[in-house]
Structures are given as structure tokens and as C-alpha cells.
Amino acid sequence: MANEKVITANELTKKFGDFIAVDKITFDVEKGEIFGFLGANGAGKTTAMRMLCGLSLPSAGQATVAGFDVYKENEKIKKNIGYMSQKFSLYEDLSISENIRFYAGIYGLTDDRIKEKTSQLVKQLSMEGSEKALVRSLPLGWKQKLAFSIAIVHDPAIVFLDEPTGGVDPITRREFWGLIYEASARGITIFVTTHYMDEAEYCNRVTVMVDGRIDALDSPANLMKQYDSKSMDGVFLQLARKAVRKGD
């Protein structure tokens, strides 16, 4: 199943009044890939992702997610994707297992499956014994890992991660990328936005968004060669310098 495209975008555009947040972006993502979406704050990463998730309607252009059209087959897309926001959105006043149960439940998993998933998840995250702890009391790193595991609890084809590592220390970030690789190995396509350039090097392919446009799309190694730089940081700086738009 190599080269099967799970996301395609063709001149996808989003305008808010006169402001063009996303300007005719064209790309596709292959199955099982870790696809990095880089850009400064305000470059349009989140807006682009929201269009693909069905949270926002495109102004123009075409896109398909998991083979379904973003305009017409929104409901089908929703069944096949997972989403994790930059806020690690969990319910603070619910326990670990209650959070898992709720999110798995709204994706329609059966009771047996939820139980199985819960124990498997808790074990994988080495949170045994803390199932009844309220999320409020957990360290940030735990919340982040839990939020990611919950985003893929229903085994989606694609998971969208919106700046999933904000505010977390480097060690926890590395552990988190371990989880991402594990999910990728299971065949889940990862679509991740970030502005940490070291993370970009963990991705199979990255795009760099500048002012709503995609200015570069390739594997990190090729980009570094193309822009004659030793790190993604260098590549990014060369591209971002062209930006007119200020960050938000």
C-alpha cells in the first residue's frame, strides 16, 4: 500500500474577509507518513489543519481526507481522524480512566473495547494505579501523553496534532515523539504542526508555511541540502526571513 495518499489538498484557501490566512496550498500526505507542518506563529498552520479536520470550511480549492471530500463528506472524515489540540484538552475534573472512557465512548467504541483499550493505554503510559487520579493532579507531560493516546484511542487513519509539544521540557518531548513513532508504526498517519525545528527533523517530510503559502516541501535531509544548511533551523530562517506578516 505504498504511496497511497490519505490527504490531498489542491489550491486550498481560507479567507477571513480580506485577510488570506491560507493561500492556495497544494500538497499530499502518504499513508503511514509523519508529515510536519512548520511555520511561524500566524503563518496559517492551524487554519490549514482546521480545514482538514472539518472545524473550518475552506473558501476555495479542493481537499480530501482519508479519501473523503472535506466539503461533502465531513461526517465520514470525522470517523477516520483523531485530533489533539495545543491545549492537551482533557477534562481536568475527570479521572484518567473517565477521560478515556468518555472520548472512546463518543467515537462509539463498545464497552468491552473501551475496557481493553483503557488497560492497554494505562499500561503503555505506565500509569497503572493512577487510573482514578483526576487529570487536574497530573504533571503536564502525563497530560500530553494521555491526550495523544486518547486522540488515537479509536485507531483513526490519520491523527492531527496541533503544536502538541508546547510548554513541555525536552526529555518529555523526546518521549512524546517515541509515542508518535509507535503510532506511525501501527499505520496511523501523523499530521503534526510545530515550530520547534529540532522536531521537524523527526518527520518524514515537512512543509514550511510562510504567510499562508507553502514555500518548501520535502524531506528534512533534502531541504537542508537544497538550502545549504546544517539544520532545519537554518532552512527555516532563510524561508521565514521573507515573511511580511507579523506573528500573532
∠ CA 117-203-184, rounded to 5°: 25
When the beta carbons of 78 and 174 are compared against another protein, the nearer one is 78
Closest separation between CB of residue 48 and another protein, Å? 15
Report how far Cα 83 is from the mean position of its chain's Cα atoms. Answer: 7
| Pairwise CA distance, residues 189 & 158, whole Å | 5
When the beta carbons of 90 and 239 are compared against another protein, the nearer one is 90
| Pairwise CA distance, residues 227 & 29, whole Å | 23
When the beta carbons of 108 and 129 are compared against another protein, the nearer one is 108
When the beta carbons of 35 and 103 are compared against another protein, the nearer one is 103
Residues in the site for another protein, rule: CB under 8 A? Answer: 53-57, 75, 78-79, 81-87, 89-94, 98, 101-103, 105-108, 134, 151, 160
When the beta carbons of 40 and 81 are compared against another protein, the nearer one is 81
Closest separation between CB of residue 231 and another protein, Å? 32
Strands (E), the chain: 5-16, 19-30, 34-39, 60-65, 68-69, 81-84, 158-162, 189-194, 205-210, 213-218
DSSP per-residue codes, 172-188: HHHHHHHHHHHHHHTT-
Closest separation between CB of residue 71 and another protein, Å? 10
Closest separation between CB of residue 195 and another protein, Å? 18
Closest separation between CB of residue 14 and another protein, Å? 12
∠ CA 99-105-111, rounded to 5°: 105
